[in-house]
A and B are shown apart, each in its own frame.
Chain A
Amino acid sequence: MRRTIPIIKLRQNLIVSIQIEMTDRLVAELKENIAFEVRAREVSGLVIEVSAVDFLDSYIARSLQQIAKIAACMGVETILAGLDSAVAITLVEMGADMLGLETALDLEDAIDILEERQAESRSEEERVLAEIYAELEES
């Protein structure tokens, strides 16, 4: 399996930073690799960082959406971070639909959002488990 774009694990999240021009072949490879990593690693979030990308066509935009959906299938949520303003305008003008793909200002922001959610869900999980343990002890 080719690994042109590195996929990094940071605590509970995977980080993919795209620093090179995206081609159709590259985006297909990335899709495969992310699907594989999401399955193999114990993570609950994925950040795709695109601040260095100054061109996104509709095919690549749709592929990014697909990546997010695939990750969601495996219980991982995706945030697109650092979309360039020019790219954003182009996407809007093309009418490319980025709906369903959550975005954040930059990588830091994205990680913050994800970790906050993870902490929230963890604390709720702990509360529920505590309740259950208490109940089990009673019975």
Chain B
Amino acid sequence: MKVSDLDLRTMLSFDPEHGKVCLGEDRMLLFRQDALSVLRRLLNDQLGERLMRAILSQFGYRCGNGDYGTLSKSYDWETELDRMSAGPALHTWEGIVHVEPTFLEYDRDSGHFHMRGIWRNSYEAEIHREIFGLSDEPVCHSLTGYASGWCSAFFGKPLIAIETKCMGKGDERCEFEVRTPNAWGPEADAWKEALEQNDYSLSRELEAKIAVIQEQEMAISELNTPVMEIWDDILVLPIVGVVDTRRSMEIMNNLLESIEQTQSRCVIIDVTGVEVVDTKTADYLLKVMRAANLLGSRCVLTGLSSAIAQTLVEIGADLSEVRTLRNIKEGLKDCLKYLRLESREE
């Protein structure tokens, strides 16, 4: 069979009884172009340009590679050139793009392969321009994937197709070129990477990041609420950074445990290092103090920022049972005074 005899109209078997269209034994599918453009936009928006490119390239690679398998198995080609040229011809018949090979030269013994050609009416450039407008880079990722896949299958060794001109970036037509990976310089790196990208996975990366966050959370929660006994019967709890509901929970547990252990009669909670709290947390801080009071400790709150002071007053927090002082120095003096008075009374 010659490449000029290739006619997809007769090669395809339509089987509506079973809901199938087949090329040889392989089931083929027909899709709407505008649906593919939605798919492309989703890939780009959800996964980013890099992953979209890898997915489309590898999708195209599989198409080209599989087409070669079917065609070389099902038909007897007169010459090697016919066998090779069937790829561009089928790509054209499939309605993906009009392919016009302009140069082909290969030598199986020395492992040399070089092909150039022109693509017209690339569906991929069309939908890419529709969705994203003009691009800075070539956009026919599944087409170059197809060319790589077909040529690699024909040649029996990995080949890389790149796009040198592309309608997607404003050129009048698309042009492609295929060589062995070694023959390519850095200009083909993006295409190589897109085909090789098997180990990169968004979900794996997310999982790794979540694991890191969990580790850090553990580390932070261990570090962030030290309770120090700075004097007989006086505990200090310095709070630094952002206080959310979860953290204030830990603070409460930590503090109450320490009070139980040390049987301290005074607690200074210093919030100099906290700039803002939300109303829920402010409320929670007051609860911490109330709980400490229940255990029999006298609580002093020091170092309130003006923002927190305003929050507390605006939520109408009942501050009558809480001693609030300017800074930790005043807090310590106050506690010492209190303990003295108590011991004098005894």
Q: Which residues of A are in contact with B by a Cβ distance under 8 Å?
A: 31-32, 35-36, 38-39, 42, 44, 66, 69-76, 124-125, 128-129, 131-132
Q: A120 vs B2: C-alpha distance in the bound complex, in angstroms? A: 111
**Secondary structure at chain B's binding surface: helix, strand, loop or mixed?**
helix
Q: A125 vs B334: C-alpha distance in the bound complex, in angstroms? A: 8
Q: A44 vs B334: C-alpha distance in the bound complex, in angstroms? A: 14
Closest approach, in angstroms, between the C-beta of B344 and any C-beta of chain A? 10
Q: Given A44-B326, A125-B333, A73–B309 Cβ distance below 8 Å?
A: yes
Q: Which residues of B contact A128 (CB under 8 A)?
A: 333, 336-337, 340
**Would you call B302 and A75 a contact (CB within 8 A)?**
yes
B306 on the A face (CB < 8 A): yes
Please tell me which one of the listed residues A31, A36, A66, A72 contacts residue B324 in the complex, with CB atoms under 8 A apart. Answer: A72
Q: Which residues of A contact B326 (CB under 8 A)?
A: 42, 44, 74-76
B219 on the A face (CB < 8 A): no
**Would you call B336 and A132 a contact (CB within 8 A)?**
yes
Q: Which residues of B contact A71 (CB under 8 A)?
A: 309
Q: Which residues of B are in contact with A by a Cβ distance under 8 Å?
A: 301-302, 304-310, 312-314, 319, 324-327, 330, 333, 336-337, 340
**Would you call B324 and A131 a contact (CB within 8 A)?**
no
Q: How many A-B residue pairs have CB under 8 A?
A: 59
22 contacts between A and B (CB under 8 A): A31-B310, A35-B307, A39-B305, A69-B312, A69-B319, A70-B306, A70-B312, A72-B319, A72-B324, A73-B304, A75-B302, A75-B325, A75-B326, A75-B327, A75-B330, A124-B337, A125-B333, A128-B336, A129-B333, A131-B340, A132-B336, A132-B340
- Besides A35-B310, A73-B301, 15 new A-B residue pairs in contact (Cβ under 8 A), listed by A number: A35-B306, A39-B305, A44-B326, A66-B314, A73-B304, A73-B312, A73-B313, A73-B324, A74-B304, A74-B324, A75-B324, A75-B326, A128-B336, A129-B333, A129-B336
Q: Which residues of B contact A66 (CB under 8 A)?
A: 313-314
Q: Which residues of A contact B308 (CB under 8 A)?
A: 73
